[in-house]
Chain A
Amino acid sequence: MAYSDKVLDHYENPRNVGSFDKSDQSVGTGMVGAPACGDVMKLQIKVGDDGVIEDAKFKTYGCGSAIASSSLLTEWVKGKTLDEASEIKNTDIAEELALPPVKIHCSVLAEDAIRAAIDDLKSKDTSAAEHKKIA
């Protein structure tokens, strides 16, 4: 299968590979996919007090298109607010990377990952707030 230049670039030089401390209150973690399906994405975002995503990191088990989708996503979310980040669509990723139809599910997974990371962060906010109330 032929890959687009952009997929190859992200695959060969993946951006923002790594991990943040999951328990950090400013970190949201999204882990989506399943090993049995051949792809698992872990996307983490670190948010400042102003609600803007300061940094993002990923690790992906999957094909080149899955790795490229998550690598691209970490670049896109940086500097965005959570609301802006949640508006990223899988079709934007697929278009940017010129993914063929059989690889569209990789971009869907990336969209799932950012949503899961945002949800994780929001649940931390709520539980932290509740924690304060109780205290």
Chain B
Amino acid sequence: MTDMKLPIYLDYSATTPVDERVAEAMMKCLTLGGNYGNPASRSHSFGWSAEKAVEEAREHVAALIQADPKEIIWTSGATESDNLAIKGAAHFYQKNGKHIITCKTEHKAVLDTCRQLEREGFEVTYLEPKSSGLVDLDDLQAAIRDDTVLVSIMHVNNEIGVIQDIKAIGEITRKHKIIFHVDAAQSPGKAGIDVQDMNIDLMSLSAHKVYGPKGIGALYVRRKPRVRIEAQIHGGGHERGMRSGTLATHQIVGMGEAFRIAKEEMAADNERILMLRNRLLNGLKDIDEIYINGDLEQRIPGNLNVSFNFIEGESLIMALKDIAVSSGSACTSASLEPSYVLRALGRDDELAHSSIRFTIGRFTTVEEVDYATQLIKSAVVKLRDLSPLWEMHKEGIDLKTVEWAAH
């Protein structure tokens, strides 16, 4: 075995380590000898130099999604971008109507923003996805009303990794002249993005899911035909008035470099990561009573979300302490509800409680995947020996017929 370090990181959809090349580019924008000027300073070379670095980064981000650099607005991350896009467009276009369509499996940054707009008098339709996790296009068509001003659908789901058919949705929204926002926090470098071909009007991006730093993101805002948003943060009028605040040169340069690398290495990264994902899947598939959550084909290469029936997710995570993963179990969150994403797919609470999300990335190795596979297999045996539900299942009792003393 090579120099494998424990614990093994298999939570790349939560965040990623910053690529060394990205960190180096960032470090050049901080100290006295570096590019530390304020990009908004117009009166000296420190400002000009910082502005040049920011604009180069903007080009890299735009290039990955087939956009014009002028269409990229820097923000603090995808959550801010979602807020700016949804609130900004809803407020600007509210004279045309106050109806918004989104999906139940969206990230909380979208769902909670929509809840806020409901409190302000907007109406929101939350589409139920198919059991595969994909939005039913007929349902979307049917939900469109005369007063619908905005549709917000994510590109890649953070929990189950499924890729929505953004191009097909974009055709529908364009036909109806509805603003189309896409939360693409999870997709750069994993799923192809072409804002022209997909008819996207607004799109949220994040750096830290693609080997860039935390605390920086961007919003794509279409110029032709022009899409308008109301600013949420007011001040010095940076980013053409859409998002004020001094530009964080080092963060922006980091995001630019991360996106440049993503474009260059996407094909090779994805091929290797898919091989590792399939190796993990093959290693686990002999385990009895496991269920893959979400469509396996329409999915990014690095995601495997599995429910291990009759085992509770948090106890499984405890047994897997040498690997870093997340669970859809209630016990890992502040609320007492299991994953709302898995429930929206129609999964039973039991299976939602039993789910583990493995996400593989650029630095995952074959040794790590093999080690994780063995660990999971032995943990499943141990915890099923402890599980009264597994015992009942083995005795042929259908757990759905049991009357539980719920508490």
CB neighbors of B among A15-62 (8 A): 17, 19, 31-42, 59-62
Residue of A19, A63, A108, A116 near B315 (CB, 8 A) is A63
Chain A residues positioned under 8 Å from B24 (CB to CB): none
**What separation, in Å, do the CA atoms of A31 and B248 have in the docked complex?**
57
Cβ of B391 under 8 Å from chain A: yes
How many A-B residue pairs have C-beta atoms within 8 angstroms? Tell me: 86
- Using CB atoms, name the residue of chain A closest to B406: A34
Residue of B315, B348, B388 near A11 (CB, 8 A) is B315
**What separation, in Å, do the CA atoms of A1 and B332 have in the docked complex?**
8
Contact B391 A19 (CB under 8 A): yes
**What separation, in Å, do the CA atoms of A38 and B329 have in the docked complex?**
8
Residue of A3, A59, A61, A108 near B407 (CB, 8 A) is A108
Contact B318 A64 (CB under 8 A): yes
- Using CB atoms, name the residue of chain B closest to A34: B404
**What separation, in Å, do the CA atoms of A34 and B404 have in the docked complex?**
5
Chain B residues positioned under 8 Å from A116 (CB to CB): 405
Q: Mark B375-388, 1 if CB is under 8 A from A, else 0.
A: 00000000001111
Cβ of A122 under 8 Å from chain B: no
Chain A residues positioned under 8 Å from B387 (CB to CB): 59-61
Cβ of B198 under 8 Å from chain A: no
Cβ of B281 under 8 Å from chain A: no
Contact B315 A36 (CB under 8 A): no
**What separation, in Å, do the CA atoms of A32 and B403 have in the docked complex?**
10
CB neighbors of A among B295-321 (8 A): 310-312, 314-315, 318
CB neighbors of A among B324-344 (8 A): 329-332, 338
Cβ of B104 under 8 Å from chain A: no
Contact B348 A36 (CB under 8 A): yes
Chain A residues positioned under 8 Å from B338 (CB to CB): 38
- Using CB atoms, name the residue of chain B closest to A71: B386
**What separation, in Å, do the CA atoms of A33 and B404 have in the docked complex?**
7
Cβ of B228 under 8 Å from chain A: no
Contact B386 A31 (CB under 8 A): no
B346 to chain A, nearest CB (A): 14
A11 with B318, Cβ < 8 A, contacts A39-B312, A40-B389, A41-B388 known: yes
B353 to chain A, nearest CB (A): 5
Chain A residues positioned under 8 Å from B390 (CB to CB): 61
How many B residues are at the interface, by size bracket? 20 to 34
CB neighbors of B among A94-114 (8 A): 105, 108-109, 112
Cβ of A67 under 8 Å from chain B: yes
**What separation, in Å, do the CA atoms of A93 and B314 have in the docked complex?**
20
Contact B386 A32 (CB under 8 A): no
Contact A35 B399 (CB under 8 A): yes
Contact B315 A64 (CB under 8 A): yes
Cβ of B349 under 8 Å from chain A: yes
Cβ of B350 under 8 Å from chain A: yes
**What separation, in Å, do the CA atoms of A98 and B31 have in the docked complex?**
47
Contact A35 B404 (CB under 8 A): yes
Cβ of A14 under 8 Å from chain B: yes
CB neighbors of B among A62-84 (8 A): 62-64, 66-67
Chain A residues positioned under 8 Å from B349 (CB to CB): 35-38
**What separation, in Å, do the CA atoms of A93 and B271 have in the docked complex?**
51
Known: A31-B405, A40-B388, A67-B315. 12 other contacts (CB 8 A): A1-B332, A33-B406, A34-B404, A34-B405, A35-B349, A35-B399, A36-B349, A36-B350, A40-B404, A59-B386, A59-B391, A63-B315
10 A-B pairs in the complex with CB atoms less than 8 angstroms apart:
A17-B386, A35-B353, A36-B406, A38-B353, A61-B386, A63-B314, A63-B315, A63-B331, A66-B312, A105-B407
A residues in contact (CB < 8 Å) with B: 1, 3, 11, 14, 17, 19, 31-42, 59-64, 66-67, 105, 108-109, 112, 116
B residues in contact (CB < 8 Å) with A: 310-312, 314-315, 318, 329-332, 338, 348-350, 353, 385-391, 399, 404-407
Across the A-B interface, give the 10 residue pairs with the lowest CB-CB distance, nearest first. Answer: A34-B404, A36-B349, A42-B388, A63-B314, A59-B388, A35-B350, A34-B406, A38-B353, A64-B318, A63-B331
